[in-house]
Structure 1
Amino acid sequence: MVLFPKSPLLSKPGLALSLPKFRQFKRALSLAVVIALIWMISTASHNSITIWDEGSLPQGNLVFHDRLYRLIETATLRYADYPPYLSDIYAQHGISAEKPCQVPMPTLPLATIADEPSSPLNDTQLCEIDRSKYAIKVDGPIGEPTSFGTVASNIALHLDRLGYPIILETWTPDIRLSPELENIRARQPNQRPNLTFRVSHIDSLAAKPSTHYFGLTVSEVPIMPHTTASAQFNRFLEPSSSRFQKKLFVPTRFSQELLSGAVPDAQKRVNLFPHGFDAEIFTYKYRFDRLESNRYQFIWVSVWGGRKNTRAVLEAFSFAFPKGTLTTASGRTINVELKIVCGYPPTIQQWEHDHWNSKPGVVIVEAAADRPATEIARFYHEADCFVFPSFSEGFGLTVLEAMATGLPVIVPEYSGMKDFCDRETCVMIPPTRLIGLNFGSHYGCGADLDPRVMAPVMKEMVLNRYDSLVIGRKAAEKVHRHWTWRQLMQSFDQNHVCPLFAGQAEQRIRPTEEAQSQ
């Protein structure tokens, strides 16, 4: 067989002798291309998030899903009439078990939970202005290692990326900011802001602002009528007699519910502004290559104690894995670990630290004021399951960030997390009982997950690694589609910020919100 018979190159002296080498080169090149394609497909499958058919769990996973929730239901019913569990170490230090909740929780009219807070925007309805003409002051704990700090920082970053000149009003004058925030501070305009956006508790929001004013706040317990906080909310929501508009935002429908006792028509007067996560930091981590690993790590991330209920996850872990190991039916031993990453400020007592740190499998990472989000993401990538039995959350930012990395999460079926968690994307345990929460003048209910209910659930996650990872992967797919800061801030700008400056009398309402108002 003659190759390239019409090629003038092959008619030159000496080139005919090189045909065998050319054929070898061609075969080697083809093989290299095939290998490269296989590597690219493998890499893409590991790092991308595949959408499951019809948006539901794979068929094989449904068996595990049903068995898991039957287990949860049985354990919850068994311990519902028991008092809250309290280990001896706490009784020895004079700490009592939580008391039952006596405060009726407010309710709102039943609304459909929107799975798409950042719905694709209709290009024909986009608000367009010259954003460089409108300065926005972001006022809050920018750069600080708290949930409010994370939220305030991301609001500033993404409004800047949208083209608005940003003025930073940090609460700590010498706060160490990220390079991008430092860059914003270095070029902030020397002018009066057209809009002030404050992220804080209600008692520090301006009732009579001197600019257009947005306030973002949150609550974990009901705001009751005839209280100081109730008066502050209603004073803020009073129509302004000046030409300046003001709006109040909360991150979840749960927070709206908590305000309904103090704020008439809370659903209409208080706007929703969900929180998001940084998709460049909290990336999806492929974990299906760990199925045969002899190591399994649970992780909990937050400020120690109090409303975060750190004690419950530690006690549940000790029930489930008293020796820090689990032996499978085939005789394989899995080393199980619980990593507790303490948020700032440090609130752990020394005796608590010494007691729990001595337990097999428990690792406590000390609080650090300068721990970057990249380090939290690394902790998530190393872990296999996130456990967070918080009594009550206005939103639950750490849960969202953990879901983004593909971690299956175990959380209460209660409070703000229900806006982005459901039983297909999270392991949701109904409250074993409702306990009383007391925050000074505010009282409310918290969801107590009994450690004796959580323990068998944690065992199931270890024994059914593949099935639990499917839940985590589906969670990541969901939140990466709708809950990134970039998507949420674009939607927020189109619904609230741009129309304000464009002088539009009626703000454009997203289809999901419009449907809920009918």
Structure 2
Amino acid sequence: MQNNYQINIHNYGTFFQPTGYAKLNRSLILEMLKQGANVRYTPCVNEREPISLDPTEVSLLKSLSHRSLQENHLVFYNFIPSYLKKDRNHFSIGLTMFECNRIPNDWAHACNQMDEIWVPSLFNYHSFIHSGVLPHKLRVMPLGVNADIYRPGLSPLTINGKRSFSFLIMSSSGWDARKGYDVLLQAFVEEFREEEDVSLIIKIRASSQDEIRQQQERVNQFVHQIAGRKKDSIIFLSTTDDWSEERLAQLYNSVNCYVLPTRGEGWSMTVMEAMATALPVITTNWSAHLDFINHTNGYLIDVKGYQKLNSELSWAEPNKDHLRSLMRHVYMNQNEAVYKGQLARDAVLNNYTWSKSAERMMDRFREISIES
């Protein structure tokens, strides 16, 4: 009887922004619908018309704004804590995360107003408690990936100038200091000679053609400061359009190794996508992604210290010299790297698909509904 009980959810968040929150909310809600939930959706912010999503999925997601709910429905926020709002008449849950050692003080207050706070990782569980979020309100609910889309064996993209071995870094946002582009550029330029058959591909987004030019100029200036000249081995891909997940999966299939010398992650969607694609991954040995990547199924960059952002918040500073040695090691030991990539995909398939993630959350929704 418990499994046949229909869960009614009023979901608040975002579906169509080019952000990690939108992708995870979209993915979870679509999966919950498959698992029998009745969902109504209210956006937390104004959203533009999506470009790269499946039209059938878009139509379904838009229709959720008009769904009727039973009176005993649950409230489920999937957004940053400053938008969380406890519904006095309904059990209210916030799924959220942060990439620093703590969360801002006003966020902790917002979290404590909710009935439960779900975070995707142990890193967030401890950082939220350290920030004053009440421990009994917290639950770890890991996120996932679509391993049917992000998989090995897809046709690679044609990338002009790409060499026989390529590293990739990618972000759905613009030039974000948190992602460690500066550390990666310096490590790559210092470690690999221009005549070596190795390239670095940087894929990010921009809001305009002018921003793309500014991003490109920033890369060129940074590389010139280090190397004294332009490097054709560095390929910069920035677009104003949203890439479909299928095209992003092809991009992962176009390279040999994913690198993210991040200073902090609330989950790290791109690391999980790369792992699902069976790519070897080099990333920083700190923050949320350590729940699913380790020394066995990936390559972890040493942390040389911590950078304070203000009096309360800090994040990690990845060791550039260790990153250099790991990139060289992967390049020189490609069979080992391929094997680690296979282990990485196995870890994702066993524990971190959207189906498994939604199933865990649906089980908790049922418990709450029965307890209520």
Q: TM-score if structure 2 supplies the norm length?
A: 0.85
Question: Does the 8 Å contact 1:203/1:229 carry over to 2?
Answer: yes
Secondary structure of the 1:167 match is strand
Q: Does 1:175 align with 2:53?
A: no
Residues 49-81 of structure 1: CA deviation (Å, up to 9, x unaligned): xxxxxxxxxxxxxxxxxxxxxxxxxxxxxxxxx
2:184 maps to 313
Residue correspondence of structure 1 range 54-203 to structure 2 within 5 A? 127-131=2-6, 134-170=7-43, 171-176=45-50, 178=54, 179-186=56-63, 190-192=67-69, 194-203=73-82
2:95 maps to 216
What amino acid does structure 1 have at the position aligned with 2:347?
Answer: K
Q: Does 1:340 align with 2:189?
A: no
Alpha-carbon distance, 1:129 to partner = 2.4
Secondary structure of the 2:312 match is strand
Alpha-carbon distance, 1:270 to partner = 0.7
Question: Does the 8 Å contact 1:249/1:271 carry over to 2?
Answer: yes
Distance across 2 between alignment mates of 1:271 and 1:217: 11
Question: Does the 8 Å contact 1:320/1:455 carry over to 2?
Answer: yes
Residue correspondence of structure 1 range 97-496 to structure 2 within 5 A? 127-131=2-6, 134-170=7-43, 171-176=45-50, 178=54, 179-186=56-63, 190-192=67-69, 194-223=73-102, 227-234=105-112, 236-237=113-114, 246-263=115-132, 266=135, 268-285=136-153, 295-302=164-171, 303=173, 304-323=175-194, 325=196, 335-343=197-205, 349-350=214-215, 351-355=217-221, 356=223, 358-438=230-310, 443-494=312-363, 496=364
Alpha-carbon distance, 1:367 to partner = 3.5
Secondary structure of the 2:93 match is strand
Question: Does the 8 Å contact 1:255/1:416 carry over to 2?
Answer: yes
Alpha-carbon distance, 1:450 to partner = 2.9
**Closer/same/farther in 2, CA of residues 187 and 271 from structure 1, 3 Å limit:** closer
Secondary structure of the 1:260 match is helix
What amino acid does structure 2 have at the position aligned with 1:400?
Answer: M
Aligned residues: 348
Alpha-carbon distance, 1:339 to partner = 0.5
Identical counterparts, % of pairs: 21
Distance across 2 between alignment mates of 1:164 and 1:208: 20
What amino acid does structure 2 have at the position aligned with 1:493?
Answer: M
Alpha-carbon distance, 1:271 to partner = 0.9
Alpha-carbon distance, 1:316 to partner = 0.8
**Closer/same/farther in 2, CA of residues 155 and 269 from structure 1, 3 Å limit:** same
Secondary structure of the 1:276 match is coil
**Closer/same/farther in 2, CA of residues 316 and 207 from structure 1, 3 Å limit:** same
Alpha-carbon distance, 1:407 to partner = 0.5
The structure with the largest strand share of the pair is 2
- Uncovered stretches (5+) of structure 1, i.e. residues with no partner: 1-125, 238-245, 288-292, 326-334, 506-518
Alpha-carbon distance, 1:145 to partner = 1.5
Alpha-carbon distance, 1:141 to partner = 1.7
What amino acid does structure 2 have at the position aligned with 1:146?
Answer: T
Alpha-carbon distance, 1:478 to partner = 1.1
Distance across 1 between alignment mates of 2:331 and 2:103: 43
Residue correspondence of structure 1 range 24-63 to structure 2 within 5 A? none
**Closer/same/farther in 2, CA of residues 218 and 174 from structure 1, 3 Å limit:** same
What amino acid does structure 2 have at the position aligned with 1:128?
Answer: N
Distance across 1 between alignment mates of 2:255 and 2:67: 46
What amino acid does structure 2 have at the position aligned with 1:420?
Answer: F
Report the structure number with the largest CA radius of gyration.
Answer: 1
What amino acid does structure 1 have at the position aligned with 2:16?
Answer: G
Residues 365-421 of structure 1: CA deviation (Å, up to 9, x unaligned): 114342211121111011100000000111111101100101100111111011111
Secondary structure of the 1:218 match is coil
Alpha-carbon distance, 1:143 to partner = 2.2
Distance across 2 between alignment mates of 1:212 and 1:318: 53
Alpha-carbon distance, 1:344 to partner = 5.4
Question: Does the 8 Å contact 1:338/1:361 carry over to 2?
Answer: yes
- Uncovered stretches (5+) of structure 2, i.e. residues with no partner: 156-161, 225-229
Alpha-carbon distance, 1:188 to partner = 5.9
Question: Does the 8 Å contact 1:140/1:199 carry over to 2?
Answer: yes
**Closer/same/farther in 2, CA of residues 385 and 183 from structure 1, 3 Å limit:** same
Residues 239-271 of structure 1: CA deviation (Å, up to 9, x unaligned): xxxxxxx321111111111112232652x3211
Match of 2:365 among 471, 478, 497: 497
What amino acid does structure 2 have at the position aligned with 1:150?
Answer: K
Residue correspondence of structure 1 range 1-16 to structure 2 within 5 A? none
What amino acid does structure 2 have at the position aligned with 1:221?
Answer: C
Question: Does the 8 Å contact 1:213/1:247 carry over to 2?
Answer: yes
What amino acid does structure 1 have at the position aligned with 2:259?
Answer: V
Q: TM-score if structure 1 supplies the norm length?
A: 0.62
